[in-house]
Amino acid sequence: MTILTRRLALGAATALAAPAVRAQGAWPNKPVRIVVPFPPGGLVDLLARSVAQSMAARLGQPFVVDNRTGAGGNIGADIVAKAAPDGYTLLASSMGPLAVNQFIYPSMPYDTNTAFSPVTLLATTPKVVCVATSRPWQNLGALVAAAKDKPGQLTAGSAGAGSSLHLALELFKGATGTDIQHVPYRGAAPAVTDLVSGNIDMVIDNVPNIIPQIRGKGVRALAVATEKRLPQLPDVPTTAEAGVPGFLFGTAFGMAAPAGTPDAIIAAAADAVAEALRDPAIGGRLAEQGTILGGTGPQAFAALVENEKRTLEPVIRRANIRAD
């Protein structure tokens, strides 16, 4: 999860446009494992597998995706945190295990602030505010007015306590001065299913997850939480255009290595990811679904992780969010 700022967007575009500069060295000279701490089929899994395929082709060694799930991503992340810092075990993850889980879980198996060496941003996915088509609200202003008129009665689904959808809801409530009931699900898919069925009022989801339902008229999109309209949803206004300029939010996915991994290996891995994202067969397909491609390199990704911590810790504390 990350606040989508113009600086980050411009940084990503610049990095993808710049020529690749590969670090010198023998890495990789054997198979590389990319641990994904979430189940197969999600966006981070898709990103990891797409990038892994390209890296294997370009670097001449297998890059194997290994899904190790549980505890909000902490189990898989811990495997990487405790792996040898030699570049042969990498982590592809959302920002939960890298930044915010430490504020949600009562105990962590690793020190979030020292366990990893950031490699690069893989992608960000903007959030979109959607409501059930059975509800009367045709724009964001009407939704906010309804929430203020009936405090605590409107319902918003999420992928679980502390998920990016939950954090988006808390930020939205803060930006609009509303009280909306949080309904946690075990994943975003069942929340969207209940939204389509009209069992809940709204979901603030990642665009790639819910864009098929938006295009198929299964849900009504009211606003995207971005500074500019998305080309994939040109008729959907931004939150600022819709009257809520303080709500900008998205989910970030990145790659990290165990702390102490040599800088040359970090640079080589970051370069290979950037090359993969420039491949139209990979990047074009992801962008079509509303994904904003990364490839910004270690320093920019490290800064993004720190921004995530600073931005979301007070939100988590204020809402008293705890892991299920």
Residue 210 sits in a domain of what CATH number?
3.40.190.10
The position carrying tokens 């970030």 is 252
Assigned domain for 274 exists? yes
- Supply the CATH number for residue 62's domain: 3.40.190.150
- For residue 49, the Cα-to-chain-centroid distance in whole angstroms is 16
Q: What is the pLDDT of residues 260-286, one digit of tens each?
A: 999 999 999 999 999 999 998 888 888
> Cα–Cα distance between 92 and 122 in angstroms, integer?
8
Q: What percent of the chain has pLDDT over 90?
A: 80
User: pLDDT at position 4, please?
Assistant: 44
Calpha distance 42→33 (Å, rounded): 18
Q: What is the pLDDT of residue 19?
A: 36
Greater model confidence, 136 or 15: 136
For residue 163, what is the DSSP state?
A: S
DSSP classification of residue 64: E
8 Å CB contact between 162 and 316: yes
CA distance 168 to 156: 10
Can you give the residue range of the structural domain that contains 298?
Answer: 6-124+251-319
The owner of tokens 């202003």 is: 141
Is the domain of 55 the same as that of 102? yes
Round to whole Å and give the CA distance between 224 and 154.
20
pLDDT at position 20: 35
Q: Is 234 inside a domain boundary?
A: no
Mean pLDDT, range 216-223, rounded to an integer:
97
- Domain assignment present for residue 324? The answer is no
Torsion sign, CA atoms 275, 86, 73, 249:
negative
Q: For residue 264, which of 117, 121, 62, 123 has the smallest C-alpha distance?
A: 117
> In which band, very low, low, confident or very high, does the pLDDT at 80 lie, cut at 50, 70 and 90?
very high
CB 176 within 8 A of CB 140: no
Task: Please state, as a whole number, how many other Cβ atoms lie within 10 Å of the Cβ of residue 163.
Answer: 25
User: Domain check: are 13 and 91 in the same one?
Assistant: yes
The pLDDT score that the predictor gives to residue 11 is 45
How many residues belong to the chain?
A: 324
Choose one of 224, 243, 276: the last residue of a domain.
224
Do 302 and 158 belong together in one domain?
Answer: no
Return the percentage of the chain with pLDDT > 70, whole number: 92
287 pLDDT above the threshold of 80: yes
Q: Across 139-246, where does the E strand assignment appear?
A: 155-158, 181-184, 202-206, 219-224
In the block, residue with structure tokens 């603030």: 204
Q: What letter represents residue 250's amino acid? A: G
List, for residues 87-105, the tens digit of each pLDDT value.
999 999 999 999 999 999 9
* Cβ 127 vs Cβ 251: under 8 Å: yes
The confidence band for 324, taking pLDDT boundaries of 50, 70 and 90, is: low
Q: Is residue 154 part of a domain?
A: yes
Tokens describing residue 288: 């079509």
Confidence of residue 290 (pLDDT cuts 50, 70, 90): confident
Asked if residue 233 belongs to a domain, the reply is no
CA distances from 315 to 191, 246, 319 (A): 22, 14, 6
Worst-scoring range by mean pLDDT, 10-19, 77-86, 131-140? 10-19
pTM for the model: 0.84
Q: Nearest-CA neighbor of 279 among 95, 55, 119, 106? A: 55
Domain check: are 203 and 104 in the same one?
A: no
pLDDT (tens digit per residue) in 176-216: 999 999 999 988 889 999 999 999 999 999 999 999 999 99
Q: What is the mean pLDDT of residues 11-33?
A: 59
Name every residue whose Cβ is closer than 8 Å to that of residue 215 and which is 6 or more positions away in sequence: none
Closest CA to 73 of 94, 102, 52: 94
> What are the residues whose beta carbons fall under 8 Å from the beta carbon of 49, sequence distance 6 or more?
65
Q: Are 118 and 157 contained in the same domain?
A: no
Confidence of residue 6 (pLDDT cuts 50, 70, 90): very low
**Tally of domains in the chain:** 2
Q: Is 130 helix (H, G, I), strand (E, B) or coil?
A: strand
